[in-house]
Every structure is written in C-alpha cells, then in structure tokens.
Structure 1
Amino acid sequence: MLVNIKSLFTLAAATALVRGQEQATAPEDSAVVRLTTDTFEDFVKTHPLVLAEFYAPWCGHCKTLAPHYVEAAAALESKNISLAQIDCTVEHDLCMEQGIRGYPTLKVFKSNQFESPAEYQGGRTADAIISYMVKQSLSPVTVLEGEDAAADFKDLLEESGQPVIVDSGVEGANATFYELADLFRDDFTFVQYAQEGKGNLAIYLPKSDDPIVYDGKQTTLADLLEWLSVETKPYFGEISGETYQSYMASGLPLAYFFYSSPEERSTYEEFFTKLGKEHRGKLNFVGLDASLYGKHAENLNMKEQFPLFVIHDLGKNLKYGLPQLSEEEFEKLEKSLELKTKDVAKFVKDFFAGKLEAVVKSEEIPEVQESSVFKIVGKNHDEIINDAEKDVLVKYYAPWCGHCKRLAPIFEELAEVYAFDSDAKDKVLIADVDATLNDVNVEIEGYPTLYLYPAGNKSVPVVYQGARTIESFLEFIEENGSNGVNGAEILKRKAAEQEAAIEDGDAEEEEVVEEAEVEHDEL
C-alpha cells in the first residue's frame, strides 16, 4: 500500500499540535524554562532577553499557545533568547507582583531589567513569536552619521509617524539611552545624531517642527521614563484601542472631546492643542470619535449628546462633565449641539481650582439584602470594603458577562458557607457589585474581577486568580484574609448537618409509614 509522505508529516504535525493543546505546561524536556518565585528574579537578571508566559494549567488559551511556545523556544535557544513559564496557580505572589490579570499574559524582560518589563505585542504562533523576539534582540537605536546624516534625519522625521527621541551627544547618557530605547522600541523611534552645537536629549512629535528638549539635571533611567511618559504624548491626541492603555498608564487626568465628524474635530483642533500645551504634564487632552466610541460616554456617567467634553480624574476615578440637556430637551432640539470654547476653558480652570462637582453613578442602597451575597453599590462601596473587622471578598461583574453568570451560583454557595457559622459571618463577607452601574475606585481590567480586602489591611487588596471552585475560594480567603477563618472546616460541618437532616427526615418518613401500616392492620 502506497503512502503519501507529505500527508503523513501533515498528519503527524496536526496530531502533535492537538496533543500539545491538551497541556498548557511545556514538557520538561523542552527549551521552555519553568520559573518559580524563588528562581524568577535571578533568571531575568542573568539572561539578556526573556519572554515570560504567566499562565494557568486549566486555561484554554494557554493550552492553544503551548505547542507554538515550545516550538519558538527551541528555535530561539541558540540565539540566547529565553522563553519561560510561570504557573500562576502555584506562584500566586509573583503573579500578583507582576500585575497579572488574565491568562496567558506574556511579558518581555530586556537587558536584565527585572522591574521594567514590556508587554508582548506580537502574534501567538511560533513564527510570530520568533520574529518578534529576534527583532527585540537587535539594536533599538538608529545611528546617523556622515555626509548624508542631516538629510537622513529630515527624512526620518517626516516618515516616522511616531515620536522621535534624539540623543545629540549627552555626556554619560549613552548606556541609559540604549536602555530606554530597548524598553520602548515598539512605541518610539530612537536616534543618535551628533549635531554641531548641541548636546541634549529631545523629542520630535509628529507634525511638529519644535523639539521638546529635556531640561532635567539627572539622566537616570527613572528620570527619562518620567519625561517620556509626559512629553511623548501629543498636545491634543486621539484615543483608541491602541492608545488607551498608554493614557491610562500615565496616571494624569484625561480630558475627552467627543466629536461627531472629522470636520468637527478639525474645527476644535487648534483650541485643544493650545489647552494641551498650557496644561502639559497636568492634564492630557484627547479626541474621541463618537461615531465609533460614543457608548464610552456612559462609562463617564454622561449621556450620548455630542459634541461632549468630559474630564476623568484617573487617580480618584471621578468624572466631571459640562451640563447636558434632559432627554426631553434633547429630543426637542431642532439644531446641532454647540460646544463653546469659552465654557470649556472655564470648566478646565474650575477643575484645577477644585470647584467642580463629580458626576457619580450608583444604584440605590438596598433596603433589604435579598441574597446571602451582599450587594454593594457605588454609594456604600468604600464603607463596606473598609470594614475593619471583616475580610471582604468582592466580585466586580457585568450583567452581560458569561463568566460572571457561571460564577454566580458558586459565589452564592460560598457566601452560605460563612453565613452558616455564627462566628465566621462576623469575620468574612462575600459581596458583589455591578461595575457597569456603580462607580468604584478599583482597577478593573475584565469581568469578573475579584478582590479580597483583608481586615486591618484594606490598603493592600489581594486579587483572586485561582480556580473558580468552592474549595479554592475557601483556601484563598483563609490564607490571605487577616482573620484566618477555616472555611473548609465549616463546609464539612455544614455538609454533615445537611446529611444528618436528610437521614432524620428519612427516618421520620419511615416511622410515619410504619404507624400507618399498624393502623391499617388494626382496621
């Protein structure tokens, strides 16, 4: 019987891929290095380029990634590029320190920099991982010199499309400049170009001829990181899926201008650019296309009435918006809304003066708790989580979220465990809050997000990242809560009492049947 060799190889590869998908953890004989809390830091500090996967063995996406990750690790090993795995179901503290919110999370550690990883931005196939990591190993700085340097620099500024960071010969800053470039090679263009009469660091923003010169006295990595986080943003930028995280990471309040058309944005461009320059480093100004992202107005506690101006204080998670029309007034409106620049300028001035009142979104506080899971709303959120006597586990959810719906009955059962014990119910509270209807000053990157606020240590909440089972939740609360309540023991007692009650019920039923039979015999 003739066999097609190509078909056999294809079948073998497909079989290997399917088998690989069964396990998220790389095989021990692969080039993937398994790291723990004890070995992680030393490994990163002794290897120049590391791609680290933070995963959970039960995660479906991790299982899909696994064979590609193993293949890429084998190909990159000879290039001194390391691929590692950290099991977050085991290394809880490490994953928490790294801010892991979902699986798999991939981070790139360069130049032995343990504290400043970059998010992996490539695809999740073996070829994509190999290509991305090889690029990360190349020099991140373009050096311009010779007769054509001036012309090349001019062309680079015109063609870059992103901020260009230039070192024109700062004494003693060469190594730090390369570190900086290595961290942000995907975001900015880094150039070394020695210009006569200059010896500084400067940023050239797209469509701007005037460089922003660094005026700091220190050129440490921390100083330059702070400088870049502020000065590389446009005076009046555009927020989208690609830029959103960058603005969030800056920590500065964010001023949104919702526009309905490119023409409308263009009308206000000069005004907002001027405001952006005036308040540089204190308030970021961005445009938002309402035709694409108009629903975001609801997240800022505003109605979809455009054009619209809103300021979001990210640090305090407070939203401030110019007054809007009632629904009835808006429906009767016969002409387009107008956003007056003088009103915006005054609004910004009042924001800095602390004269504005935040627009807070909250459901009403329930008069009666209808479930063993305590319902929190925006108005009482801080009061409940800051209960000094209780370990409070809170689920932040969205009603439309499928994962939240599947977790609901488990969370209900969890709450009933602690409610069963008179002592435990005074020490542990299981609660939830609809984060789409209530403002809470909590970092939520996805639904559901679960935080434990330990009694007496509310300033350091612990994010839950384990399996969504009763046993795992009980163990997590006992280990991370301040009160050390043994929920597993309570669960055993609760189950035993329920079983005893069922047996007693069966015995009573048998007794009734026997009595009935005796009466029947007498008849």
Structure 2
Amino acid sequence: MRLLNLQTLTAILAVLSFTKAEDNAIASPDSAVVKLTSETFQGFIKENPLVLAEFFAPWCGHCKKLGPEFSSAADALATKDIKLAQIDCTEERDLCNSFGIKGYPTLKVFRGANEPAEYQGQRQSDSIVSYMTKLSLPAVSVIENSSDLLDSISELTSPMILQVLPPGATGSDANSTFYEVANALRNDFFFVSTSNDEYVKKYATDSKKPTYVVFRADEQLDDASVSNFDTFDKTHLVDFIDVESKPLFGEITGATFQSYMAANIPLAYYFWNTEAERDAVAPIITPLAKKYRGEINFVGLEAPKFGMHAKNINMEETFPLFAIHDIAGNLKYGISQDKDLDNSLIAKFVSDYAAGSLEPIVKSEEIPEVQDEAVYHLVGYEHEAIVKSGKDVLVEYYAPWCGHCKRLAPTYEELAAIYQNDTIGKEKVVVAKLDHTANDVSNLDITGYPTLFLYPGDGSEKILYEGQRSLEALADFIKEKGTYGIDALEIRDAAAAAAAVTEEVAEEAAAPVEHDEL
C-alpha cells in the first residue's frame, strides 16, 4: 500500500477537522439547546423567564469552539428553568440585525421584558452554568446578620448596593422601586437589603424611608457612599448608583471606558508608566475624588497599553500626565507638559478647573491668512466667532478620507460660489467647511461625515441638515431656515439671465455694420 505524502495527509486532516468543527458550531439536536428563528424567537422569550441566546455563524471559528461547551451547559441547566438557544445569523439575518449583532458568537441574556444584557462570563460549560445559575437567583439578597453582611462587603468583586430598611419603611413604594432597579441592573451590581439594627443606626436618616449605601470593591467601609435624596424615584436611584458605584480612583480599560463616557461628567485622567507611579499619586487623587464625587470621575490609565489616547484629549504622549476631559462640552484641559509632571500641582489644577478659571486646550489648524476659495476654510480657533458672526452660516464638518464628503465637494463649492459672487449674498451668507479630524469643536455631537449644521444669523439654535445633498435642496434649506431668506437659486438664475443679455449685446456689438450701396 502506497504511503500518503505529508502534504496530502495534512490536507485530509484539515478537511476532517473543518467538517467536524463545522458540525460542532451548531448544537447537537440531542442537546437541550433550542434553535430559534424569526418566527419562534419572540414567543420563546416570552414563555421562558431566563434565556441565554447565542447568535452565531456555522463557519465562525470561535463558534465552533463554543458549540460543544454551549450544548453541555444547556444540558446541565435543563432542569433549572434556564434555557439556552441558538440563532444562525446566516439564516436569520433580519433577526440578528435587529439586535445589532456585529460579530460571532455574540451571547445575550434575555429576562422577560427587560432589555437583553451582554453575557459577561467565560465561554466554558462550567462557567456558563455558574453564571446563569447566579442570574436565576433572586435579584436582591436579604441579609440580616451583621457578620454575614461584613463578610459579603469584604469579599466584593463588584459594587454592592445595600438597601437599609428601618422598621417603618418595610413595604414602602421605595422598596418596590429598589427591587425593580435590582432586576434591571443585577448583571452589574450585587443588591442586598437589610433591616439589621446596627446598619439602621449607622446609615438610616429617616425612620420611614429606606437609605441606600454603595460599597465598592477594594475600598474601606468608611468610603461607602450614602444616599441623601430630597425626592426619590427610579431615576434618582439609578443615577445615584451610576455615579457612586465607580471607584474613587478607577482604571480605564477597554471594558470600563464606555461606562465612564456614558456618565457624561468630566473625566480626570492620570496616565502612568508604572504601578509605583500610580501608587504614589493615589493619596493625592483619592481625596479629590471624594471631594468632587458626582462632579468629576478620576481614573488611571496604563500608558504602555493605552498611551495613544493622550492625543484624543489634546496631550502629547509624554508620561506621566494629568488631564481633564469635559465630556459634555468636549473640552480638554491638561497640566503643561513643558516639563515633567509635578504631582503637587494636581489639586490646584482640579480646583481651578472646578472654578472655571482654566482655558481649554484647543486642537486647531492655523487660521488661514487668505481665504482664496468660495467655501470658507473654517478652523477650531475661530469656529465660535464665525458661527456667531450675524450671518447665516452653513458648516460642513468633514474628514479628509470620507468618500461622501468628496462626492459632495463640487456641489458645495458651486453653492458657495453663488453667494460669494452676489453682493447681498456675500454679506448675509457663509458656506464653510471644517476638517473635524484636525479641529476641536465644543458642544457638537458629530457621529458621521459629512455632517452639516446651519447657524442662523439671529443667533438662534443651530439646525442639523438632513435633506438631499443637491444644490437645490441645500439652497432651499438656507433660504427657509436662515434668518435672511437669501435665495441662491434666484441669484443663480438672475446671474445667468444677466450673463445671457450681456453675451447677446456683445455679439451684436461685434457684428459687422451693414451699409446700403450707393
């Protein structure tokens, strides 16, 4: 018998491996995993209180690896009223798109009418079983024993939200609200309720109302945050948890960045090279974090991994550094990098920022000495002055690499030229463009390019343009939404008519004069 050569053998093994893995991506029909389609999905979610759904593609390598683990976990959870389901996104594209599925596998936890939550556990069978079993337990743990409470706080790996219930507060509407919030946020926090006398005496401020305490992992008990609501409802409790659950001096990573940005309050960064640098600055930053809790979040950022983020807040990649990003206004402030950072300057810098006495660091191109095109070349340094100049100002915020921006350019230039070539139009209308990758603009939410805003000459609120990107549509927008009602199409047509008359006169003047012969 002829022996197979190594290349042929490798190819066969690869095919066998691929075939086996392909089958493994899809759960075995003998397992407890349920295959869902667009027709069956909603009904299944309504019928089952807790579902872990895997959105996958059969060809996906990570899905192939997860398949057997997912099937094994489904079998282990079958008796606990916890269902595991699969949705094949190559067959159910619309269903997957409705949940914003961008990659495979994506695991989401569905619990009744609540918004689905991202699965945060490991992707082994035991981990899936443990994670989902925990989710099946009551959203709020009731702990009355002091030592048990203390043990729970000392062993925290995520923030604990403790409801302290005085005897007169039991059964109150606030108590019901706490359970509602706990059900919604249980994936991120540990919710506990107690009526323990020791905790009531220490934290309760009203014998008929619950008090809420946030304990953060790896912090002292005395650093806990205690609620002080003048009025109370679900929104106040959620906001309290969102602000107070963050560490006094946290850490920015890929996993935490979005939660800090979503808080929408200023974010103070300390970029560090070594753990020793972070440890040295912690005694300075922690008291500041306590003082400005709810007004400024303070975080560390490991420069060797994430140092390039310094450019996003208008700082140089020279570390350590300290800077504050006003997220709502998109303004950046930083301690000068002309020399090495002196940590003793941080407290005064934060105080000056809170007092509004610092100037932001503006990223901007230089102001052009000459505007030699019909479209005004706008830069960050003069953005506010131009849009508040008393003229109707249309600004295109673009990126040099944007294909849609390049396609708009000829139309935009033609529109600008119409106003520039008219005496009144030039005085009343500015058509401008700003490279948003090279210039900072505050209080402006740009989510894609090009984005166009009209700033009316009367100083009223800017207006987002959402129409067709044609000359006629843009001209009508400025006429209808601007302060002065300048009609670019009318200007264009009048200019064309005048040009035609001028050409006709010129032709007549150039024609030879005919004379009658004698």
TM-score tier, shorter chain, comes to 0.5 to 0.7
Cα offsets for 1:422-449 (capped at 9, x unmatched)? 4444333211222333332132443433
Distance 1:426 1:467 in 2: 26
Cα offsets for 1:94-129 (capped at 9, x unmatched)? xxxxxxxxxxxxxxxxxxxxxxxxxx9862589969
Structure 2 match to 1:204? 215
Structure 2 match to 1:340? 342
Alignment of 1:16-27 (within 5 A): none
Counterpart contact for 1:363–1:438, Cα < 8 Å: yes
The SS at the match of 1:364 is: coil
Counterpart contact for 1:167–1:194, Cα < 8 Å: yes
Distance 2:46 2:232 in 1: 30
Structure 2 match to 1:330? none
Distance 2:492 2:325 in 1: 44
Distance 2:185 2:493 in 1: 53
Structure 2 match to 1:39? none
Structure 2 match to 1:272? 285
Distance 2:429 2:367 in 1: 20
The SS at the match of 1:295 is: helix
Distance 2:179 2:408 in 1: 47
Counterpart contact for 1:72–1:130, Cα < 8 Å: no
Displacement of 1:241: 4.7
Cα offsets for 1:49-72 (capped at 9, x unmatched)? xxxxxxxxxxxxxxxxxxxxxx65
Distance 1:288 1:126 in 2: 29
User: Is 1:287 aligned with 2:300?
Assistant: yes
Displacement of 1:296: 2.9
Structure 2 match to 1:22? none
Structure 2 match to 1:307? 320
Counterpart contact for 1:253–1:313, Cα < 8 Å: yes
- Among 76, 97, 101, which residue is 2:42 paired with? 76
Structure 2 match to 1:440? 441
Counterpart contact for 1:363–1:378, Cα < 8 Å: yes
Residues 363 and 130 of structure 1: CA distance in aligned 2, closer, same or farther (over 3 Å)? closer
Structure 2 match to 1:136? 114
Distance 1:183 1:501 in 2: 73
Distance 1:320 1:184 in 2: 33
Structure 2 match to 1:373? 375
Distance 2:430 2:332 in 1: 29
Structure 1 match to 2:127? none
Structure 2 match to 1:189? 189
Counterpart contact for 2:139–2:186, Cα < 8 Å: no
Cα offsets for 1:483-511 (capped at 9, x unmatched)? 344445556666x6599699979x97xx9
Structure 2 match to 1:332? none
Q: Which amino acid aligns with 2:214?
A: I
Displacement of 1:134: 5.3
Distance 1:318 1:73 in 2: 48
Larger Rg: 2
- Further displaced range: 194-203 or 349-358: 349-358
Residues 250 and 126 of structure 1: CA distance in aligned 2, closer, same or farther (over 3 Å)? closer
The SS at the match of 2:114 is: helix
Q: Which amino acid aligns with 1:272?
A: I
- Among 227, 232, 239, which residue is 2:240 paired with? 227
Displacement of 1:400: 4.0
Identity %: 39
Structure 1 match to 2:101? 123
Structure 2 match to 1:238? 251
Structure 1 match to 2:20? none
Cα offsets for 1:5-27 (capped at 9, x unmatched)? xxxxxxxxxxxxxxxxxxxxxxx
Distance 1:476 1:408 in 2: 17
Counterpart contact for 2:419–2:426, Cα < 8 Å: yes
Residues 374 and 205 of structure 1: CA distance in aligned 2, closer, same or farther (over 3 Å)? same
Counterpart contact for 2:398–2:405, Cα < 8 Å: yes
Counterpart contact for 1:72–1:126, Cα < 8 Å: no
- Among 349, 352, 360, which residue is 2:351 paired with? 349
Counterpart contact for 2:398–2:436, Cα < 8 Å: yes
Alignment of 1:346-495 (within 5 A): 346-354=348-356, 356-388=358-390, 390-448=391-449, 449-458=451-460, 460-490=461-491
Cα offsets for 1:327-354 (capped at 9, x unmatched)? xxxxxxxxxx5x4332223333343455
C-alpha RMSD of matched pairs (Å): 4.4
Structure 2 match to 1:166? 162
Residues 488 and 167 of structure 1: CA distance in aligned 2, closer, same or farther (over 3 Å)? farther
Displacement of 1:360: 3.5
Q: Which amino acid aligns with 1:413?
A: E
Q: Which amino acid aligns with 1:166?
A: L
Displacement of 1:253: 2.7
Q: Which amino acid aligns with 2:219?
A: S
Q: TM-score, normalised by structure 2?
A: 0.61
Cα offsets for 1:124-148 (capped at 9, x unmatched)? 5899698557572699970324899
Counterpart contact for 2:416–2:431, Cα < 8 Å: yes
Distance 2:326 2:218 in 1: 28
Gaps of 5+ in 2: 1-36, 48-97, 117-134, 201-209, 513-518
Distance 1:73 1:292 in 2: 45
Counterpart contact for 2:161–2:241, Cα < 8 Å: no
Distance 1:263 1:405 in 2: 49
- Further displaced range: 448-457 or 133-142: 133-142
Displacement of 1:235: 0.8
The SS at the match of 1:440 is: coil
Displacement of 1:407: 3.4
Residues 147 and 201 of structure 1: CA distance in aligned 2, closer, same or farther (over 3 Å)? closer
Displacement of 1:467: 4.2
Q: Which amino acid aligns with 1:419?
A: Q
Distance 2:115 2:153 in 1: 22
Residues 172 and 347 of structure 1: CA distance in aligned 2, closer, same or farther (over 3 Å)? same
Displacement of 1:220: 2.0
Displacement of 1:300: 2.9
Counterpart contact for 2:214–2:244, Cα < 8 Å: yes
Distance 2:311 2:105 in 1: 41
